[in-house]
């Protein structure tokens, strides 16, 4: 992981360094990072977060669904085999998804599969802001949504994940 950097340092990074550091703030989707590099300079961390959100919001539905397809299944094969990105692994483990009871693991796999069949992309929720019980509850509840309602909800979760990841990299410019 990278040391915390100030927004001024972020603004002075080369394109390559920017992509290396921020390339996974949106899971396996460095295109987002590449697109916002040209939006520099960022006035604050909040400004950087807003620029990323604006870019994601500007995408057509197919582009948003593509971002969602880059996400792994929660507590899925990648977590069990150790092939998640470092960020996803940290978030899923912290939410208790590595230590599910067998019944919960089976339920989560079944719901993940049903969700993916219904919407065409994995269920995405900000694991960093939820525990396993909340994740299971949200998965069951959001499965009932219509696709036109679910897509924006899932994208909002992507933006939450992105913000948490950015806050682990960029030093806050707010002094308390």
Here the tokens at position 104 are: 């919960």
- Polymer length of the chain: 176
With vertex at residue 69, the alpha carbon angle to CA 27 and CA 34, rounded to the nearest 5 degrees, is: 45
Q: How far is CA 10 from the centre of its chain?
A: 20
Separation between Cα atoms, residue 146 and residue 143, nearest integer Å? 8
Here the tokens at position 121 are: 């992309």
CB contact at 8 A, 80 and 105: no
Here the tokens at position 23 are: 């390339």
CB contact at 8 A, 139 and 108: yes
71 is catalytic: yes
Please tell me which residue in 24, 70, 71, 79 is annotated as part of the active site.
71
Q: Which residues are catalytic?
A: 71
């Amino acid at each position: 992981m990278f040391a915390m950097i100030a927004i001024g340092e972020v603004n002075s990074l080369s394109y390559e360094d920017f992509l290396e550091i921020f390339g996974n703030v949106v899971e396996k989707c460095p295109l987002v990072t590449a697109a916002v590099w040209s939006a520099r300079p960022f006035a604050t961390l909040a400004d950087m977060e807003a620029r990323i959100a604006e870019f994601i919001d500007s995408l057509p539905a197919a582009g948003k669904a593509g971002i969602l397809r880059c996400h792994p299944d929660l507590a899925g094969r990648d977590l069990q085999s150790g092939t998640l990105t470092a960020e996803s692994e940290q978030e899923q483990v912290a939410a208790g998804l590595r230590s599910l009871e067998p019944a919960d693991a089976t339920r989560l796999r079944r719901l993940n599969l049903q969700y993916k069949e219904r919407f065409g992309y994995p269920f995405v929720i900000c694991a960093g802001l939820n525990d396993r019980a909340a994740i299971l509850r949200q998965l069951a509840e959001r499965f009932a949504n219509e696709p036109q309602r679910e897509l924006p909800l899932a994208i909002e979760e992507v933006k939450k994940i992105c913000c948490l990841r950015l806050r682990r990299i960029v030093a806050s410019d707010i002094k308390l």
